[in-house]
A and B are shown apart, each in its own frame.
Chain A
Amino acid sequence: MDSTIFLLLAQDALTNGAIYILLALATILIFGVTRIIFIPQGEFVAFGALTLATLQMGEVPGTVWLVVALAVVAAIMEAYRLLRMGVSREIPAAVARTLAPPLVVSGIAYVCAPLNLNLGWQVLLTVMLVTTLGPLVYRVAFRPIADTSVLNLLIAAVAVHFALVGLALLFFGAEGFRTPAFSEAQIPLGVLTVSGQSIWVYVMSIAFIGLLAYFFGRTMYGKALRAVAFNRNGARLVGISPSLAGTLAFALAALIGCLSGILIGPITTIYYDSGFLIGLKGFASAIVGGLASYPMAAGGALLVGITESYSSFWLSAYKDVVVFTLIIPVLLWLSLRSVHFEEEE
């Protein structure tokens, strides 16, 4: 291997690593706030890339119908819940609150889809659609069982993964897509040529991490989320609603997933089921941080990116074997570090 290839692979590692950092952040966020091990995080990535690809073709993406269907189910569930609580007066307002934002978003997307808007507008539409998906998934799949064991929440998470992958196949078909790059520029940098898209990935990742840091460090909602992650009951006592926190966490996670998908769409061909492995790699990074530490997870993400990139050079057929086997020694290391014998919720 000469130094050019070395640098080329390093650049690859960095690009993928940046995406895994974002996904790892989303994973830790959701686990901290809701105790859900959110396996389907990668599905937001696939939905992001594929929704954009469909809009590119001037068609209405299936995501629109999914958002509408989930909103209707969520509204029915909300009405039923209020009915059982004996406060049927509140039903109309609650149903309107549940239905309005998703319907508006999907309505806009439906109208705008055939207009062949420029890329920026299409990205905006995609982000709006997929971000709306997050809270709806939380409302329909997780909120009714929010108080059960981590184990049940995990089973629900894989059920959501199954459903979303099947739906992605239904909406987008089995073919893979590449979305157009944000920038076609090729910037020479010594022996390397850095693509404009990679620059976009770096800049967006850093900007987004900065934004998240600001959100969690400086804003009231961000602090509320941290409070819930730190101590659910304590947060409830000071008036932070765990279900609002869950909704917010899911919206953020969907947003992060969607952006990741849009960013890597031009670099990798995305199929309906590509999200799973991408998401799991983000997940593997989060595990390095013990599902709790953001900086450690970022380190883990770079580690995963580097492993993936270099093993694809030497052992291209075994790239994923290497990446996923890597988790075992990491777990061993974590296990040796943990001294307490207590666990359980």
Chain B
Amino acid sequence: MRRVGLIAFLALVAMIPLSPPFYVTMGSYIGLYTMVALGLVLLTGVTGLTSFGQAAFMGLGAYTSAVLTTTLSWSPWLALVIALLLTIGVALVLGAVTLRMGGHYLPLATMSWGISLFFLFGSLPELGGQTGLSDIPALAIAGVELRDERIYYYLIWLVCLAAMWGTVNLLDSREGRAIRALKGGLHMAEAFGASGLRLKMVVFVYSAVLGCLAGWLYAHMQRFVNPSPFGINVGIEFLFMITIGGAGSIWGSVIGATLVSFLKTALQGILPKIIGHTGNFETIIFGIMILMVLQWMRGGIWVFVERFLPPKPNKDVGEASDLPVRTQPRRGEPLLRVDGIRKEFGGLVAVKNVSFEVAAGEIVGLIGPNGAGKSTTFNLISGELPRTDGNVYLGAEKISGLRPSRIARRGLSRTFQHVKLIPGMTVIENVMLGAYLRTNEGFFSAGFRLNRTMEKRVAAEAARQLKRVGLEESMHVPAGSLPLGKQRIVEIARALCSDPILLLLDEPAAGLRYKEKQELARLLEQLRSEGMTVLIVEHDMEFLMNLVDRIVVMEFGKKLAEGLPHEIRSNPEVLEAYLGGV
């Protein structure tokens, strides 16, 4: 059914040039807009960032080529190279100044940049001012000029479909999974070794490049450019396209571009007749429409269409997992050493010079009443919070002061107190994210689908870990459809998939029912018997007592006691802290 839909779509695209010229022109525009919207889907729907500057990137591509091919008589192909370099440069600068900060700075920066570029187009005499530049040469491939509109239509859609194909492939890959993990914040991607900042930058540059490419094609199709198609309003319209079409899927860009293009043409014809004078009154309708989509149909039209489609085919799982494996430390060797670690938040000292050690093959519990500083200690170890003082060593290496992604590289893997999974992705794909550092497939091999063998091997490894934790029957369902208890187990499988030497579990039993807790305890015992070292932060004493080898108790940011479970159970200070003095 999905395949039939795809073939029908391709057939429709192929047959448009048989229709009257109006539809061919429309089709060409839709192809160009789809390309730009596609980049925005990746940026907005997938990564959770957004840009108002996509039309400006289009303008950058169009104007660069227009100037170079007219005044300097360069070849359009050479101009394309320059335009792309320029676009990448601008995107890198905009990304560098905004992506480190909160999510709303990128849209603001791209909006202001888009506005200033638009005014620049309109006022520089070299760019023809408001009248623009004309007599742009036609594209020529192997000496044949592409002047026929129908031929040019095919060129546009060839590029557009290639971009769609590459984007789909990219999302279904090692880097793609890490990109999809960015939407809820950097933590998830960073915990498995991906650099969130680098991924965001790549996505933004990619979306800018798509814009530039569309602009270049536009300039040589129209053979004339002026500022108005690259203004900020057009930049906003791209955002509207994906909001209406569906920002979560690449198909949303096609649907949105098509719908908005037709609607705009229709409204521009009808509204001035109703109202009695000319003007861009369609903005009223678009504005209201977007508000309605946001209130009643969030996710856009594609979500509605997808409801009628059968589920995607299952992930291809290889025969055997043969990824390289780390040498585990010998049982009993000191593995984690926390040395006088301290964290101050302003005047509040959340963790006061806490020290303890974990030996390889041990399960150690870090417990304490609410507010004791356990989670802060956990975050100091995993690198999520910068420490005020003290050090953390993993084996012989100092890991304090490193970013989480660097610490993950050294063999520490973790789960989250509030489950962090990508709900729309299948369980096995979520677990595959764990193996991010074990392979090094890049963007190009992903985009051109050269990563298939490696993907199968990683899938096999993920399947092995899912079997290890007893979840292989849920492998191909969306992670968001599992109950909380199972989601936590998926997180453990994902952590195991990174082949760690130390597993950090942040309150794994929180919110679980009794039976789920029992299953979790059984799993952890099994992991210990397999030689895995685990540090658990937990406040459920009962859960830990029969499970762990040793316990570290914290209260008011300080280490209160340390010892074997039965020692802790009878320690008067611990009883006081937990029960208020018995």
Contacts and interface: CB of A to CB of B under 8 A. Distances in A.
A99 interface: no
Interface string A312-335: 000001101111110110011011
Interface stretch (A15-23, A104-112, A152-160, A184-192): A152-160
A184 B195 CA distance: 61
Interface in B272-297: 275, 277, 279-291, 294-295
Q: Is the interface of B mostly helix, strand, loop or mixed?
A: helix
Contacts of A149: 48
A324 B290 contact: no
Nearest to B99: A335
A117 B129 CA distance: 45
B240 to A, nearest CB: 7
Contacts of B239: 155, 158
Interface stretch (B115-123, B305-313, B456-464): B115-123
Interface stretch (B31-39, B104-112, B471-479): B104-112
Interface in A13-37: 37
A284 B113 CA distance: 12
Interface in A248-295: 277, 280, 283-284, 287, 291
B243 interface: yes
A163 B284 contact: yes
B281 A159 contact: no
Interface string B166-200: 00000000000000000011100000000000000
Contacts of B291: 140-141, 156, 159-160, 163
Interface stretch (B90-98, B145-153, B210-218, B341-349): B90-98
B97 A155 contact: no
Contact of A343 (B102, B290, B295, B298): B102
Given A287-B108, A325-B112, A161 B101 contact: no
Nearest to B278: A174
B105 A331 contact: yes
B116 A324 contact: yes
Interface residues of A, number: 52
Contact of B112 (A164, A280, A343): A280
Contacts of A123: none
B398 interface: no
Contacts, number: 155
B115 A280 contact: yes
The listed residue with most B CB atoms (<10 A of its CB), out of A140, A151, A164, A277, is: A151
The listed residue with most A CB atoms (<10 A of its CB), out of B107, B119, B240, is: B119
B44 interface: yes
B287 A160 contact: yes
B98 A331 contact: yes
Nearest to A37: B104
A155 B120 contact: no
Contacts of A344: 103, 184-186
A231 to B, nearest CB: 15
Contact of A145 (B96, B113, B186, B294): B294
A165 interface: yes
B125 to A, nearest CB: 9
B243 A324 contact: no
A91 interface: no
A221 interface: no
A152 B290 CA distance: 10
Given A154-B107, A334-B101, A343-B102, A324 B286 contact: no
A321 B109 contact: no
Nearest to A325: B116
A169 interface: yes
Contacts of B286: 159, 162-163
B123 A321 contact: yes
B403 interface: yes
Nearest to A272: B279
A37 B120 contact: no
Given A159-B287, A170-B275, A320-B119, A37 B108 contact: yes
Contacts of A323: 116
A2 interface: no
B236 interface: yes
B281 A325 contact: no
Nearest to A322: B116
Contacts of B98: 331, 335
A322 B123 CA distance: 12
Nearest to A291: B104
Interface in B125-181: none
The listed residue with most A CB atoms (<10 A of its CB), out of B111, B281, B403, is: B111
The listed residue with most B CB atoms (<10 A of its CB), out of A145, A162, A277, is: A162
A167 B103 CA distance: 30
Contacts of A173: 277
B119 A159 contact: no
Contacts of B113: 324-325, 327-328
A164 B287 contact: yes
B184 A151 contact: no
Given A158-B236, A159-B286, A166-B287, A321 B119 contact: yes
B97 A320 contact: no
A166 B295 contact: no
Contacts of A150: 103-104
Interface string B71-105: 00000000000000000000001101110111111
A318 B120 contact: yes
B95 to A, nearest CB: 10
Contacts of A325: 112-113, 116
Interface string B394-406: 0000000001000
Nearest to B123: A317
A155 B294 contact: yes
A30 to B, nearest CB: 13
A14 to B, nearest CB: 23
Nearest to A329: B97
Interface in B319-335: none
A173 to B, nearest CB: 8
A160 B97 CA distance: 28
B90 to A, nearest CB: 10
B63 to A, nearest CB: 14
Contact of B243 (A148, A155, A160, A327): A155
A52 to B, nearest CB: 22
B50 interface: yes
Contacts of A170: 275, 279, 281, 284
A315 B294 CA distance: 42
A169 B280 CA distance: 8
A167 B287 CA distance: 10
Given A159-B240, A162-B287, A332-B97, A343 B186 contact: yes
Nearest to A165: B283
13 contacts: A37-B107, A150-B104, A155-B294, A156-B290, A160-B291, A163-B288, A169-B281, A318-B123, A321-B123, A324-B119, A332-B96, A335-B97, A343-B103
Given A149-B48, A166-B282, 9 more contacts: A151-B103, A152-B298, A156-B294, A158-B239, A159-B240, A170-B279, A287-B108, A328-B113, A342-B186
Interface of A: 37, 140-141, 144-145, 148-152, 154-156, 158-167, 169-170, 173-174, 277, 280, 283-284, 287, 291, 317-318, 320-325, 327-328, 331-332, 334-335, 338, 341-344
Closest 6 CB pairs of A and B: A163-B287, A166-B284, A162-B287, A159-B290, A344-B185, A166-B283
